[in-house]
Amino acid sequence: MNEPSSTARRRLLWQVILFALLQYAVLLAVSGLIFLASHFPPSAANLDSVIVGLVNVESIIEGPRKLFLHLWPWESTPRGFGIVASLFNSLVWGLGLAAIRRFWTSATK
């Protein structure tokens, strides 16, 4: 079998980390937009549909985290579990996006 070289693994790891950080930045941006839209006065503009759309996007972006939290069998989670779940969420998205990018570049060559 053709095993990937050390530089290819390192490049894939950097892509996963980069995509994970980008996913986290997008999640923070969507959360900030939800916050801003919810504090906009309804007498000026009704942004309820925008808020609902942003919340749906946020729930998709947080999908792996929510699944990971639901897999915890007990009522309370240990200290730091939320941070681990957020890290897990970003890494899952980073790995998925890096795999899609790698597949796309190999398919288009």
Taking all residues of the chain, what is their mean pLDDT, rounded to a whole number? 90
Residue 69 included in any domain: yes
Q: How many CA atoms lie within 13 A of 31 on its CB side?
A: 9
Identify the domain containing residue 16 by its residue range. 12-100
Q: Is residue 2 part of a domain?
A: no
What domain count does the chain have? 1
- Average pLDDT (104-108) is 91
d(CA 22, CA 27): 9
Locate all alpha helices (DSSP H) within 1-109, ordered by sequence: 6-38, 48-61, 63-70, 81-108
Name the pTM for this structure.
0.82
- The answer as to whether 87 is a domain residue is yes
CA-to-CA dists, residue 100 to 18, 34, 38, 103, angstroms: 14, 28, 34, 5
